Structure 1
């Protein structure tokens, strides 16, 4: 009787095994030599998703360690509130740093309850180790980490990752610890950056000038999160600097997220007509109607995605209808409060490119699911 691994060519087995979890990859690697060879070949590991919530709490099985050398893109999920899950994620990252030289993409996804203010040093030290060894790293996404990111991390990225194409540091934290000078060092060291996510206070006029330099790669996305006291106190960036940036990068899309920490005065400083806002997320404790009317007036040509979290009201409904009439390019609109029937009708009538929306006419259990336009 032929061994199971002899029934299919290795390249076919590798494609099948690439869809398996780590636990299942370890299981198939123990079936026979042919399956073990297929389970650790490069095709299986190029794009790898690992969940330390469901894979168990132990370290990567020794039989799969050779596969780490083949990882090009890793998406790693863990639960920061569970010590075994966080420890497994940290050990995996440290092991990966010692074994791979070809890592190109790393996306960390943290779930569970938010940790304490000073938590996450173990995970961030492991990210430091990755950035020291993976000089081919092109994409680093840390926006789903609830830990405070600091200048030391940004400077390590600048030293160790000269080929970086995208970096997202606009994470869910109420403390801003990335200074404008560190961002400027990053821009000098990484001339190929095409996408950048930052807290608003980390961006300076000098950084905008650096991004507009003629020898830089085209900047495609700039994500700015305004959520901490430093963001609320940040002075507005000069309109002339934004204008120069738009001339240099006409395809630039700005993602702007405003959180409850911002006062009405701060919101007025952040919303600048010269910024090419493509995605606007409003989760304000104060007035939301004013920012919506501002967006309808100044971002009509660029706005593609709108997300609103506010209390239901007739003025809010009217502002949404007015925005729909002016922003014909909208592709997504998500409003997490009950609206009147005329609101979805307005978006259907005026926004022919609409792909999905969350516009509920009656209160429903959360989470609210979007409706997709056929």
Structure 2
């Protein structure tokens, strides 16, 4: 009897991670810790951070000779400097040391910037932060549902507000937020702000007169009054963006005298003749983003005549790419055009370092830009932001027609943006790298050419460098890109070679759920390769993965699924499986199978338990799983799941666990016989994997005579005969194995004789599996070694002449005559084909020849 090993090979794509988008984020709160004397060491959230660790001994403060340093001897200036080296999570944790440090850690000068995108901005978090945010200058949040909470921070001096995933943001909420923060200079909201209207934009204009940058994505309609109100009340407005809007009154920009940067990327309903006529007259317009629009070449030619225009982003504009390409001629007024048919790297280099770019390009004879531009940092930064946004949107579209672009220019440009000094550009570039490589998200399939292009361009080292940064948003996106790229075996080898396993193991310990989730996903994909499992264990990742199951018992389905998936791959290795058990993995996985209702988590937890139980001959994990309270009951329950993957993995786990005598009987006592028979009856139209595991689990249970009788009594013979007709060798081999065990019981033998003889004879003659042929022949042999005659003669003896007159014996007569009728059908089957007996008798010999 064979065991079900899941996810042990590199070619099994089902055990690789599936990407999913999660919306809700929870903050993992730090517990206060009191210290007497200790070293100052960053917490786990900074374990992958490049900031240096500072110790009392290294600081040289408060130390007299060999005497131990006391926290109370550290000057306030030193402690304050230490707080400045930490991120706000570690800062809050360290502030809990004592009352004095709590006061220093709450200093408003330390809390000028907050990135809460990866945290749930609920009332509890707001109340904890409110006393520290009086000098808050910059705030990033995620989710329009949490926008109401911003007011509770009392950040009256807020200058920059940025929100992601604001589909639930309404006019009323936005109006309330801007009314309480009249000093805003930058407001960026996206994506899909479909509930925001032009009325809210008018309120923004009135309440925020100092506004210099406004960028909103997904607003449906922007009317003339809203645009004119912006330029009337916000005299210093220099950057405006309406991305992915439905309609924009393009003629309302006449009063935009100070506007330098305009983005209408993704807007499809623009009257380009009116837009060109109006926008070409803007005196200070330096940058224009028309990516993903239907701008025409003639309109672009008019726009390029704008006196101060330095750059136009026109990526993925179909009419530009299909028509006559308006490649600028060398002219003193030529702006840099960034499009698929231009050299993106050359254009960006012109903006970043025009003097060097001009000299190098002229020496090679490739330059199209004739003038020497003055270095304008604002233009360069804006261009990087627009390029990163455009590339991310294009990558998300996953259009097959872009293959050539990604390989020729797109990959190199994303790697260039990863090295930007702007953190938001780094994040979007890493996110684009994570998305563009995917071919099929559900089946975890990546484009090998794109993945290797990233690797050959030095992208792995760049992404690992980002993963070691202090920003949790950058860490999360970098880890996601590494995880997706690692689906490719060559990239996985490079990640391991450059120390990526240790970095991901450190990120898996992060108290931030999103960072830990992406790190666990990377370890999941890397653990597919047998050559990486030892390194993952040595890096301490097994303990980190097990801890994740206890850290987020509810609400963290994404991180739980990835952690369980990685443990499942690691458990397929004998040595790693023992380390998983030692780290408490059995209990953690059983808890997930028992209490988590997420089907992905259930599937991976069951698969991990199945792989742990595979090594019953070499370690005690099989028995350990069976001994864990509630394990067998949970797996039996999961066989009735509506999700096929859950049913398949649960049946596989029960199959492996049934190799242990105690487990076998305990499974039956937990209702396993009834559940598995029901599964076998329902899986005839399911996948081959489900059919194999259902039959295999019944095979394992049928080793016990009591279970064999119970399987026959519950109706398990018929579905096994059906599965024995399968064309899949794995399926009919496990089914005939179960039938062989069942044939030892005379009652089961009689049931098999009714329908099973043709299937078994067919397997004897046609199966390519030697094991299947052998077991089919043995099943036939045990069926007709006198068992049928025994059951006919002993259980239902032929009624006497006197009894035949007794109506009470009618049932016995019918059963006795029916049994002999079955035997008559069997005899007729064999006699109808003279070579059947020869086939069956020779099957045993030829099976192992």
If the TM-score is normalised by the length of the shorter chain, which range does it land in?
0.5 to 0.7
Which residue does 1:83 correspond to in 2?
none
1:163/1:58 CA distance change after superposition, 3 Å:
closer
Report the CA distance between 1:285 and its aligned residue.
Answer: 4.7
2:116 is the counterpart of 1:50? yes
2:322 is the counterpart of 1:274? no
Separation in 2, partners of 1:36, 1:267: 60
| Greater helix share, structure number | 2
2:94 is the counterpart of 1:28? yes
1:56/1:92 CA distance change after superposition, 3 Å:
closer
Contact 1:198 1:225 in 2 (8 A): yes
2:449 is the counterpart of 1:363? yes
Which residue does 1:9 correspond to in 2?
76
1:176/1:54 CA distance change after superposition, 3 Å:
closer
Report the CA distance between 1:297 and its aligned residue.
Answer: 4.3
2:151 is the counterpart of 1:94? yes
Which residue does 2:292 correspond to in 1?
259
Separation in 2, partners of 1:202, 1:64: 39
Report the CA distance between 1:161 and its aligned residue.
Answer: 0.6
2:264 to 213, 224, 229: 224
Report the CA distance between 1:49 and its aligned residue.
Answer: 2.0
Report the CA distance between 1:151 and its aligned residue.
Answer: 0.6
Separation in 2, partners of 1:54, 1:366: 34
Report the CA distance between 1:25 and its aligned residue.
Answer: 3.9
Separation in 2, partners of 1:132, 1:167: 16
Give deviations 1:120-145, integer Å, cap 9, x for gaps: 135x6443222101111111122x33
Report the CA distance between 1:43 and its aligned residue.
Answer: 1.8
2:212 is the counterpart of 1:161? no
Contact 1:280 1:305 in 2 (8 A): yes
Report the CA distance between 1:363 and its aligned residue.
Answer: 2.9
1:64/1:28 CA distance change after superposition, 3 Å:
farther
Q: CA RMSD in A?
A: 4.4
Which residue does 2:326 correspond to in 1?
294
Contact 1:280 1:303 in 2 (8 A): no
Give deviations 1:180-215, integer Å, cap 9, x for gaps: 22110111111121222235853543422x123xxx
Separation in 2, partners of 1:155, 1:181: 8
Q: Secondary structure at the match of 2:451?
A: coil
Report the CA distance between 1:75 and its aligned residue.
Answer: 2.4
2:138 is the counterpart of 1:73? yes
Q: In structure 1, list runs of 5 or more residues that go unmatched.
A: 81-85, 213-217, 309-315, 348-354
1:108 to 149, 155, 163: 163
Report the CA distance between 1:226 and its aligned residue.
Answer: 4.2
Separation in 2, partners of 1:57, 1:235: 47
Which residue does 1:283 correspond to in 2?
316
Q: Secondary structure at the match of 2:282?
A: helix
Separation in 2, partners of 1:176, 1:63: 36
Q: Secondary structure at the match of 1:211?
A: coil
2:369 is the counterpart of 1:327? yes
Separation in 1, partners of 2:72, 2:311: 50
2:282 to 245, 269, 272: 245
Report the CA distance between 1:104 and its aligned residue.
Answer: 1.1
2:241 to 190, 197, 200: 197
Give deviations 1:299-321, integer Å, cap 9, x for gaps: 9855447253xxxxxxx58x989
Contact 1:254 1:278 in 2 (8 A): yes
Separation in 2, partners of 1:159, 1:135: 9
Report the CA distance between 1:150 and its aligned residue.
Answer: 1.7
1:63/1:104 CA distance change after superposition, 3 Å:
same
Which residue does 2:193 correspond to in 1?
147
Which residue does 2:626 correspond to in 1?
none
Q: Secondary structure at the match of 1:282?
A: coil
TM-score normalised by length of structure 2: 0.32
Which residue does 1:177 correspond to in 2?
221
Q: Secondary structure at the match of 1:30?
A: coil
Contact 1:243 1:274 in 2 (8 A): yes
Contact 1:187 1:211 in 2 (8 A): yes
Separation in 2, partners of 1:18, 1:37: 17
Q: Which moved more, 1:155-164 or 1:4-13?
A: 4-13
Contact 1:72 1:103 in 2 (8 A): yes
Separation in 2, partners of 1:269, 1:176: 27
Report the CA distance between 1:287 and its aligned residue.
Answer: 5.5
Aligned length, in residue pairs: 310
Report the CA distance between 1:93 and its aligned residue.
Answer: 1.6
Separation in 2, partners of 1:156, 1:300: 42
Contact 2:263 2:288 in 1 (8 A): yes
Contact 2:112 2:133 in 1 (8 A): no
Separation in 1, partners of 2:237, 2:221: 21
Contact 1:220 1:253 in 2 (8 A): yes
Which residue does 1:311 correspond to in 2?
none
Which residue does 1:121 correspond to in 2?
169
1:62/1:322 CA distance change after superposition, 3 Å:
closer
Separation in 2, partners of 1:6, 1:297: 69
Separation in 2, partners of 1:234, 1:61: 46
1:5/1:222 CA distance change after superposition, 3 Å:
farther
Give deviations 1:77-125, integer Å, cap 9, x for gaps: x2x5xxxxx64x33532313xx122111112234xxxx8xxx4135x64
1:227/1:294 CA distance change after superposition, 3 Å:
same
Contact 2:83 2:105 in 1 (8 A): no
Contact 1:224 1:256 in 2 (8 A): yes
Separation in 2, partners of 1:70, 1:27: 20
Separation in 1, partners of 2:160, 2:96: 29
From the CA coordinates, give the structure whose radius of gyration is larger.
2
Separation in 2, partners of 1:191, 1:75: 25
TM-score normalised by length of structure 1: 0.66
Separation in 1, partners of 2:319, 2:130: 52
Give deviations 1:336-369, integer Å, cap 9, x for gaps: 643699x78xx9xxxxxxx9999xxx93129958
| Greater strand share, structure number | 1
1:40 to 95, 102, 106: 106
Report the CA distance between 1:158 and its aligned residue.
Answer: 1.1
Separation in 1, partners of 2:161, 2:345: 40
